[in-house]
A and B are shown apart, each in its own frame.
Chain A
């Protein structure tokens, strides 16, 4: 069983100008459960492309945030376009503070050094402005176990 175990680090500038490390518990609270990932087209879709002798889009790298509040995983819309991912549906994004609006759905594969996660229906959203490439939502988490160890500033994701 692949196990991804991560401890978040964060640094801040102290009043005297020195860069100091934040305790792990605070780092996890500030930054959230982040994972370095790369993304490309979803695995099964990719197999279909390869069967036709076509090449897969070159993966793009960035940060994924595990977001148990998100019903579905999301990919940065601009990156999805740069990868040339196909739009396979359109969904409606609900929001308490904004009007509902449509967003494209893309078949996405999220790769970490340890686990590969398939998000066959990931939403396109403007994530890059918030420093994120991917949100890992409950559609992916439904096949994972997530252990969030706040006091230790660590989290563990198993597939």
Chain B
């Protein structure tokens, strides 16, 4: 997924850092289609320009995000959908 965009980012990282600094980039194929200060703006313009197409949105300086969810990894979330809950204000 997003192979072209990741390859482009890896091979142009220094150049992109020099040109855009710490901005959040929207990369579609081998093209930067926007540079933004906030994720909110980046998402808004990505939706406007590219619709629901897959595009890479990240800072060129950022390492690949790693995340952890131990209960998920271990398969012990254990929600029983046959039971009910109720919410109230």
A residues with a Cβ closer than 8 A to B are 3-11, 27, 30-32, 34-36, 41-42, 44-49, 51-52, 54, 57, 63, 65, 67, 69-72, 74, 84-98, 100, 102, 104-105, 107, 112-114, 120-121, 123, 125, 127, 130-132, 135, 137
Contacts and interface: CB of A to CB of B under 8 A. Distances in A.
Contacts of A123: 67, 69
A91 B89 CA distance: 36
Chain B contact residues, majority secondary structure: mixed
Interface of B: 1-2, 6, 39-41, 43-58, 64-75, 77-81, 83-89
Given A31-B80, A105-B65, A131-B81, A120 B52 contact: no
Nearest to A89: B58
B88 A70 contact: no
A86 B65 contact: no
A95 B43 contact: no
A6 B85 contact: yes
B66 A92 contact: yes
B73 A52 contact: no
A131 B80 contact: yes
Contacts of B6: 90
A36 B77 contact: no
Nearest to A10: B83
Given A74-B72, A97-B73, A131-B80, A89 B2 contact: yes
B67 A52 contact: no
Contact of B56 (A52, A89, A93): A89
Contacts of A98: 73
B68 A93 contact: yes
A10 B83 CA distance: 5
A72 B69 contact: yes
Contact of A93 (B58, B67, B81, B87): B67
Nearest to A139: B67
